[in-house]
Amino acid sequence: MWDAISEKLQDAEKIVFVTGAGISQESGIPTFRGKEGLWRKYDPMQLATIDAFYQDPKLVWEWYEERRRNILDAKPNPGHLAIAELGKYKNVHVLTQNIDSLHQRAGSKNVYELHGSIITIKCTVCSFKDKITTGFSQLPPLCKCGNMLRPDVVWFGEALPQDVWEHAMKQASTCDIMIVVGTSLAVSPANLLPVYAKQNGATMVEANTDPTPMSDIMDISLRESAASALPRLVNIVSG
167 carries an active-site annotation: no
Backbone torsion region of residue 202, taken as left when φ is above 0, otherwise alpha when ψ lies between -120 and 50, otherwise beta: beta
Q: Which of 93, 103, 115, 167 is an active site residue?
A: 115
Q: Is 226 annotated as a binding residue?
A: yes
Is 64 annotated for ligand binding? yes
67 annotated ligand binder: yes
Was 182 annotated as part of a binding site?
yes
Report the distance separating Cα 210 and Cα 222, nearest Å.
9
Provide the H-helix boundaries in the chain: 2-11, 21-25, 50-55, 57-73, 78-86, 102-106, 162-173, 193-199, 226-238
Q: Is 49 annotated as a binding residue?
A: no
201 is in an annotated binding site: no
Q: Per the annotation, does 209 bind a ligand? A: yes
Classify burial at 138, counting beta carbons within 10 Å of its beta carbon; exposed 0-12, middle 13-18, buried 19 or more. exposed
Strand partners, 111: 94
Binding site for substrate, by residue number, is 64, 67
Q: Which residues are catalytic?
A: 115
Binding residue positions for Zn(2+)? 123, 126, 143, 145
Q: Residues annotated in the binding site, as ranges?
A: 64, 67, 97-100, 123, 126, 143, 145, 182-184, 208-210, 226
Q: Which residues are annotated as a binding site for NAD(+)?
A: 97-100, 182-184, 208-210, 226
